[in-house]
Amino acid sequence: MVTFLKSLRIISYKQFKTITMKKLSTNTIGVHGGNTKIQNQGYVAVYSGNDKILSVDNYNGSGDTYVQREEPVICISDGEYCIFEGTHKQLIDLIKRNK
């Protein structure tokens, strides 16, 4: 098992305005199949039974400090603990290093 936890870089709201933000979208298909449904999201969590196995958060803070992140943060869980937290690029780099 690879554990990779990294603290998040905090930047000011003023800096966020000048950065191109990435949209977080989900593409889902119901349990009976059929048409896909695409929606923009701020936070997505995927569960297997009662265990959260994956989450992606595109925003930081709450209330007046709630702002979109420069890059969405992915958290991969073993059902109890977050064993990876970082950006998509960080996850890909980690996987490539550990092949």
Alpha helices in the chain (DSSP H): 13-17, 88-97
Answer yes or no: is 3 within a domain. no
Give the dihedral sign, CA 11/16/19/24.
positive
Answer yes or no: is 24 within a domain. yes
Percent of the chain with pLDDT over 70: 79
In angstroms, rounded to a whole number, what is the distance separating the alpha carbons of residues 25 and 19? Answer: 19
Q: What is the pLDDT of residue 20?
A: 64
In angstroms, rounded to a whole number, what is the distance separating the alpha carbons of residues 58 and 69? Answer: 6
Q: What is the number of other CB atoms lying within 10 angstroms of the CB of residue 58?
A: 20
3-class secondary structure, 91: helix
Q: Give the structural domain span for 18.
A: 10-97
In angstroms, rounded to a whole number, what is the distance separating the alpha carbons of residues 1 and 15? Answer: 36
Q: What is the pLDDT of residues 30-63, one digit of tens each?
A: 888 888 899 999 999 999 988 889 999 999 988 8
pTM exceeds 0.85, yes or no:
no
Q: What is the pLDDT of residue 95?
A: 93
Is the pLDDT confidence value at 23 over 90?
no
Domain count, the chain: 1
Answer yes or no: is 1 within a domain. no
> 18 or 88: whose pLDDT is higher?
88
